[in-house]
Amino acid sequence: MSDKHLRRIAIDPISRVEGHGKITLLMDQDNHVQEARLHIVEFRGFEKFIQGRPFTEVPYFVQRLCGICPVSHHLAAAKAVDQLVGVDPESVTPTTHKLRRLLHFGQVLQSHALHFFHLSSPDLLFGFSSNLAHRNIVGVLEDYPDIGLKGVKLRKYGQQVIAAIAGKRIHGAATVPGGMNKSLSDEERKALLVDIKDIIQWSQDAVDLNEQIHLQHPENHGFATLTTSYLGMVGKQGEMELYHGGLRARHADGSAIIDQFDYTNYTQLLREEVRNWSYMKFPYLTSLGRENGWYRVGPLARVNLADFITTPKAEAARQKFRAFAHGGYVHDTLAYHWARMIEMLHCAEAIEELLHDPDIMGTDLVVKGTARREGIGVIEAPRGTLFHHYQIDEQGLIEKANLIVSTTSNNQAMNESVRSVANQYLEGQEITEGLLNHLEVAIRAYDPCLSCATHALGKMPLQVELHNAQGDVISSLSKSANGTIGCTFD
């Protein structure tokens, strides 16, 4: 259908989501939202401006994509850079492999804690349309101090793991081509062990809280929910794997699309579609085609896809999660948070295991091989599968780079969830604060962090526009950087 027959509602941008976001709802003449467009209107151009730079700089450049999950970008790039010096993921030393896993578990733990407690729990604890001034982490700390404080401490602990390995909580320095620049001292290891029992218990509490919230709110089950296929990484036995493994994609009914797929061949698996209204691309599984090949990534995908989780408490939680869907896949979009907390519990348990492994204090840190011109690193970042692909010239300068960040993989799904919510909550031709809140809750289920994909930081003013079928603005609503709602157009 031509756009000229649709009304247009624009919501610009989204609060409590890092980065720019703007939503346009294209409505047909029957007031149904026919298409939702989550516009990515900012462009940071990392893939372009690292061209011509030495490949050794890349993990340090790209971690600046994000302040929430920099370690994931750092490690994905490091895995690619390893290949540029001739080192495959299986060839790094045990100390390097385990230090990187520990670093990544710290990253996922702190990011998941931030995502749920700081950014999403206010919606779930207070209600989507509750007082905006109170619906934030400070409000959670006031009304639910036990929950809020655990969240803050969980995030802090993840950052302490990162700081012990990378020297800083955010944007540290850990990897070198083919290895790591330091191991953990016994003193650092013991310091991290002091709080780990609490961290595991609090993570378990967070799983229980999310399970309770989801089960007690059946109205949430269908909220922004989509029945989709999923993509994620799994280990060799089909276990949940966040650092290194093969790719698995499955249909919504659990039937196989691919399994144990070597991610260095990802260009055969995925293609990216460009649409002229967004800087964020639309990846799809090549075998399923452009229309049907979109998929979801991230915690929901990973917990659905994993045959089991290697740590006992998280595995027990996974089984309860899957039992909710009677053994099938859980498609509820708000169950992303539940799955996220299961992963956080897994990270906490895995951190404890690694802290008892003497290899993390080893001195054999770096290996080198024969230089290559291409490297591809893939990792399961907090928000989902993250692809880093680099090519260098004969002098070691970056010639070409391609990044598919997690949010990009969820692009189509976020649009579809927004469309679903808009159809459910749009009342007539009036844009309400309630609609706006609900749309933001849908986006936040996937991602509090558009900065990696949208490439901007900080909150931005929010603007909502309603366009009629002729393209005229008939109503608008704005949201300032501090959350103040106001009418900008009558």
**Which residues would be at the binding site for another protein (CB under 8 A)?**
52-57, 60-61, 64, 85, 166-168, 171-173, 175-177, 181-182, 395-397
CB 377 within 8 A of CB 85: no
Smallest separation, CB 176 to another protein (Å) = 5
Between residues 134 and 168, which has the closer beta carbon with respect to another protein? 168
List, in order, residues 6 or more apart from 209 with CB less than 8 Å away. 147, 341
Q: Which helix (H) or strand (E) holds 10?
A: strand 7-12
Smallest separation, CB 225 to another protein (Å) = 40
Smallest separation, CB 53 to another protein (Å) = 8
Could you tell me the CA-to-CA distances from 132 to 59, 437, 472, 486 in Å, in that order? Answer: 38, 9, 30, 13
- The 3-state DSSP class for residue 235 equals coil
What value, to the nearest 5°, has the Cα angle with vertex 140 and ends 136 and 141?
115
Smallest separation, CB 388 to another protein (Å) = 15
Q: Given its phi and psi angles, is residue 254 left (phi above 0), alpha (psi -120 to 50 degrees) or beta?
A: left
Between residues 175 and 333, which has the closer beta carbon with respect to another protein? 175
Smallest separation, CB 57 to another protein (Å) = 5
Between residues 182 and 373, which has the closer beta carbon with respect to another protein? 182
Smallest separation, CB 92 to another protein (Å) = 15
Between residues 99 and 443, which has the closer beta carbon with respect to another protein? 99
Smallest separation, CB 183 to another protein (Å) = 10
Smallest separation, CB 391 to another protein (Å) = 15
Between residues 160 and 175, which has the closer beta carbon with respect to another protein? 175
d(Cα 344, Cα 158) in Å, to the nearest integer? 10
Between residues 172 and 235, which has the closer beta carbon with respect to another protein? 172
Smallest separation, CB 407 to another protein (Å) = 22
- The 3-state DSSP class for residue 228 equals coil
Between residues 54 and 434, which has the closer beta carbon with respect to another protein? 54
**Per-position DSSP letters for 285-298, written without gaps between them:** EGGGHHHH--EE-S
Residue whose entry in the numeric block shows the structure tokens 């109503």: 475
Between residues 44 and 248, which has the closer beta carbon with respect to another protein? 44
Between residues 168 and 356, which has the closer beta carbon with respect to another protein? 168
Between residues 177 and 232, which has the closer beta carbon with respect to another protein? 177
Residue whose C-alpha is closest to residue 94's, from 364, 310, 351, 352: 364
d(Cα 85, Cα 371) in Å, to the nearest integer? 4
Residue 279 CB burial class (10 angstroms; 0-12, 13-18, ≥19): middle
Q: Calculate the dihedral angle through the C-alpha atoms of 58, 64, 67, 68, rounding to the nearest 10 degrees.
A: -30
Q: Indicate the DSSP class of residue 457.
A: -
Between residues 156 and 171, which has the closer beta carbon with respect to another protein? 171
Smallest separation, CB 392 to another protein (Å) = 10
Between residues 151 and 177, which has the closer beta carbon with respect to another protein? 177
d(Cα 46, Cα 42) in Å, to the nearest integer? 12
Smallest separation, CB 56 to another protein (Å) = 4
Residue whose entry in the numeric block shows the structure tokens 């106001």: 486
Enter the tokens of residue 312: 């006992």
Residue 490 CB burial class (10 angstroms; 0-12, 13-18, ≥19): exposed
Residue 312 CB burial class (10 angstroms; 0-12, 13-18, ≥19): exposed
**Per-position DSSP letters for 245-282, written without gaps between them:** -EEEEE-TTS-EEEEEE-GGGHHHHEEEE--TT-SS-E
Q: Calculate the dihedral angle through the C-alpha atoms of 12, 13, 16, 17, rounding to the nearest 10 degrees.
A: 130
Smallest separation, CB 41 to another protein (Å) = 23
